């Protein structure tokens, strides 16, 4: 249903494109796609992916551009992007001010009637619900605990490090996540018109927020 609703013309952005795994879903023959990531290694893999993915249109290398950039400093002119897609990226942005800035900047990049479709991790999903309930109580009533969390870089309620193990390297890394509440994510999108807002994905089928918004200039 979303695919039919979104107009795939002009310039589209895959924000946090990683290895390019979603390129085939975000491009049509009459459109151009900009893949953005802050990892040079991922972009190298994405470049090879463009050459080898049979699901992509022919000569896709002419229609897909890769950019190494931080989400807060995107080298894209305002009001030129038709659609922005961001799968599991926004929740890696630290602190409320930076998230507000990033979402506002994305709004500026979009053309009128352009779409912003994205997913983030949901705070009260089954796996982490107990952790965040306890975390909130301890942040409120235990100053020492709150100070420790801040020193770790977990400044806000909803912040958490999640371990990721790379089997090839046999190493485990702690990645920063900000888990969103329903109210929080809707407040963040106050400039946008929300068209769809769903809980979906993950082992419990509702671990993420799936959100389709649109820029409508009044």
CATH of 2-124+179-214, one of 3.40.50.150, 3.40.47.10, 3.30.70.2190, 3.40.640.10: 3.40.50.150
- Per-residue pLDDT for 1 more than 70? no
pLDDT in tens, 108-144: 999 999 999 999 999 999 999 999 999 999 999 999 9
- Per-residue pLDDT for 55 more than 80? no
Mean pLDDT of the chain: 92
- Higher pLDDT pick, 108 / 170: 108
pLDDT band at 27 (very low <50, low <70, confident <90, very high): confident
User: 168 vs 19, 98, 101, 165, 172, CA distance in Å?
Assistant: 16, 33, 36, 9, 11
Q: What is the pTM of this model?
A: 0.92
- Residue intervals of the chain classified under CATH 3.40.50.150 are 2-124+179-214
């Amino acid at each position: 249903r979303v695919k039919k609703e979104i107009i795939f013309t002009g310039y589209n952005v895959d924000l946090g494109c990683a290895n390019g795994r979603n390129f085939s879903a975000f491009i049509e023959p009459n459109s151009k796609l900009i893949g953005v990531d802050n990892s040079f290694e991922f972009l190298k893999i994405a470049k090879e992916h463009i050459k080898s993915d049979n699901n992509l249109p022919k000569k896709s290398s002419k229609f897909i551009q890769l950019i190494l950039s931080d989400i807060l400093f995107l080298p894209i002119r305002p009001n030129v992007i038709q659609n922005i897609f961001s799968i599991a990226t926004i929740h890696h942005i630290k602190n409320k001010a930076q998230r507000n800035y990033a979402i506002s900047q994305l709004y500026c990049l979009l053309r009128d009637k352009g779409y912003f479709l994205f997913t983030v991790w949901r705070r009260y999903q089954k796996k982490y619900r107990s952790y965040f309930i306890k975390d909130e109580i301890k942040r409120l009533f235990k100053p020492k605990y709150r100070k420790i969390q801040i020193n770790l870089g977990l400044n806000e309620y909803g912040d958490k490090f999640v371990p990721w193990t790379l089997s090839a390297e046999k190493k485990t890394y702690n990645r920063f996540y900000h888990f969103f509440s329903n109210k929080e994510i809707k407040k963040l999108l106050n400039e946008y018109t929300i068209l769809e807002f769903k809980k979906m994905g993950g082992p419990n089928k509702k671990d993420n927020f799936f959100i389709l918004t649109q820029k409508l200039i009044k």
